[in-house]
Amino acid sequence: MDRHDETNLARAVLAGEPQAFERFVEHFRSKVFHYSWLMCGRPEDAEEVAQEALFNAFEHFGSLREPERVRSWIFRIAKNACLMQRRKSVFAPAQELSIDDMPPGTEVSGDEPPPDRSYLTSELRAVLDRAIAELPPLYRSVVLLRDLEELSTEETAQILDVSADVVKTRLHRGRAALRQKLDCYVNNHCLEDEPAPDPTPLSAWEREQLYSAWRKSLSPKAV
């Protein structure tokens, strides 16, 4: 689903269409789960983040003023939910790597191109996921939002609460490090290529939570 389709879907959800609600949940729950799995590190944490992020989104859906920005809006909510989950998870790392913890070889002098699109095919997507998961979180979040979710530099900066220049710097370094890891896989098969986990189906109670939050957010419009 491209950005145009997501915009139309968001407008349909704002209009109170039940079928649009179902499609929205299916589409964005998968996206948020994948993002959260790579950022939080465990499928169990990603499940909680996906549910929390969608609940928060539907709770405030009636206040969405720019449907064309729904993707960045959702990921800002997901980023905050993921940060909260990492803080309380017993599996969270004791110390996060900083932007200066990568080896000097990852520095770049100019724009580094995004990962080759061939890595986004089904056969190599698991390898790309593994390579991204091994990046320091500061790089990982930018690469995920810019290259996988195809958000703009400005949207990514707003989601992460940093400047556009910081996004560009982290993206350059992240792409360079990512390319090194992918080259290592191609030449030496030094990355595991286990498939990414899928979110478990929503329970009836979880779906009802989301549905109730959505209807309440639209209630002033007498939906």
Residue 202 has a pLDDT of 92
Q: Is it the case that residue 92 has pLDDT exceeding 50?
A: no
Contacts of 109 (CB under 8 A, 6+ apart): none
CATH 1.10.10.10 is right for the domain spanning 93-192: yes
Phi/psi at 103 (5° precision): -65, 155
In this prediction, residues 5-16 reach a mean pLDDT of 96
Tens of pLDDT, residues 58-67: 999 998 999 9
- Compute the distance between CA of residue 174 and CA of residue 38 in angstroms, rounded to an integer: 14
Residue 120 has a pLDDT of 52
The residue among 76, 57, 30, 20 whose CA lies nearest residue 216 is 57
CA dihedral 119, 92, 146, 108 (to 10 degrees): -80
Residue 116 has a pLDDT of 56
Q: Is it the case that residue 129 has pLDDT exceeding 70?
A: yes
pTM of the model as a whole:
0.79
* Mean of pLDDT over the chain: 82
DSSP state of 60: T
Asked if 179 contacts 115 with a C-beta cutoff of 8 angstroms, the reply is: yes
Phi/psi at 115 (5° precision): -55, 145
In this prediction, residues 170-193 reach a mean pLDDT of 80
Q: Which of 24-38, 82-96, 145-159 has the lowest mean pLDDT?
A: 82-96
Instruction: Work out the pLDDT band at 187, boundaries 50, 70, 90.
Output: confident
| The three-state (H, E, C) secondary structure of 87-112, written as one string | HHCCCCCCCCCCCCCCCHHHCCCCCC
DSSP state of 202: P
Instruction: Work out the pLDDT band at 57, boundaries 50, 70, 90.
Output: very high
Query: Cβ of 202: how many Cβ atoms within 10 Å?
Result: 18
Contacts of 204 (CB under 8 A, 6+ apart): none
Residue 198 has a pLDDT of 87
In this prediction, residues 39-48 reach a mean pLDDT of 85
Place of tokens 């992460």: 160
Asked if 151 contacts 69 with a C-beta cutoff of 8 angstroms, the reply is: no
Please, how many CA atoms are within 13 Å of residue 27, restricted to the half-sphere of its CB? 20
